[in-house]
Amino acid sequence: MALMTQEWKREHLLDTSQLTLNELKAILARARYWEENWRPGMGPYRGRFAANLFFEPSTRTRFSFEVAEKKLGMEVVNFTPDVSSTAKGESLYDTVKTLASLGVEVAVIRHSDPEQVKALARQEVGCKILNAGAGHWAHPTQALLDLYTMLKHFGDLSGKTVAIVGDIAHSRVVHSNMWSLKRFGAHVILSGPQAMRDRDCEQEAPYVPFEEALQTADVVMMLRVQLERHQEKLFTSKQDYHKQYGLTLQRLRLMKPEAIIMHPGPFNRGVEVADEVVEHPRSKIFEQKANGVWIRMAVLEHALEGEKA
């Protein structure tokens, strides 16, 4: 199956909100192609370079991108901020421009400041920019792999209800997910502590009590409590949060029989998700991680080939 790039007109991928329905479908279709057809030794992009620039900690996204790049045959440059010239004050623009001058064609960037990533994409840096998570603004490839996981399970999301539960205010995942889910006809509801609500998200989706969300949803997506982003203490203890908003086996029984459990990770066992729920038969948490490789292969491929469209 040849890559069809006529629907892809993007130089960079910053968020799902910039993608049309046809572009979303093109990425999902290509991810399915790679999942079904990739074999060792297939890499079509040998000799082409990608750089992974992670200014925030990451396991899933960083290594998922690296595996995707290597499955495509690419050479991978992993950038470490604290031993690079950024530690001496070099700007993000100059860093990426330098890498592009060395032959890097795709820069995968995670950064705490979304405005820096947006500004970079507006400049002539000489390579494609893929947002691997920017502050609490956007995380497009996570939203795409979540969408892919749901579509693999249900086939169609029209009329399905997706409940996103937890630390909405500090999540980049929820913003990107809401855009893509609505384009596929899903209804999004939110739930979580009052102190972790997000005003912008409230304008896009209703907040409902936790138990109502569990009873209503076809997909229950739990979010990590992002303690590192909290300016002040928002709950008394992890045990207290788990008691009020943790997905336990008892609460799982409130869910529809066919409903599934998701979590973008990293997850805190015994906080937002009980230990025995993480690998429950209805949990798609580790499947999400596997699907991330295929999605990121598709995104990288579109970035490399889109200029030819």
Annotated binding residue 110: yes
String of DSSP letters for 77-94: EEE-GGGSGGGGT--HHH
Q: Name residue 96's amino acid.
A: V
Nearest CA to 240 out of 256, 225, 230, 254 is that of: 225
Annotated binding residue 123: no
Determine contact, residues 270/245, Cβ cutoff 8 Å: no
What is the token pair recorded at 180? 């893509």
Annotated binding residue 61: yes
Annotated binding residue 60: yes
Instruction: Quote the DSSP letter at residue 194.
Output: G
Annotated binding residue 9: no
Annotated binding residue 149: no
From its phi and psi, is residue 103 left (phi > 0), alpha (psi between -120 and 50) or beta? Answer: left
Q: Name residue 60's amino acid.
A: R
Annotated binding residue 139: yes
Burial bucket for residue 237 (CB in 10 Å: 0-12, 13-18, 19+): exposed
Q: Which residues pair with 190 in a beta bridge?
A: 164, 207
Q: How far apart are CA 273 and CA 280, in angstroms?
A: 11
Annotated binding residue 224: yes
Annotated binding residue 46: no
Annotated binding residue 172: yes
User: Using CA of residue 100, residue 102, residue 104, residue 107, what is the dihedral sign?
Assistant: negative
User: Using CA of residue 261, residue 265, residue 268, residue 271, what is the dihedral sign?
Assistant: negative
Determine contact, residues 111/92, Cβ cutoff 8 Å: yes
**Known binding residues:** 60-61, 88, 110, 139, 142, 172, 224, 265-266
> Which residues are annotated binding-site positions for carbamoyl phosphate?
60-61, 110, 139, 142, 265-266
Q: Annotated binding site for L-aspartate, which residues? A: 88, 172, 224
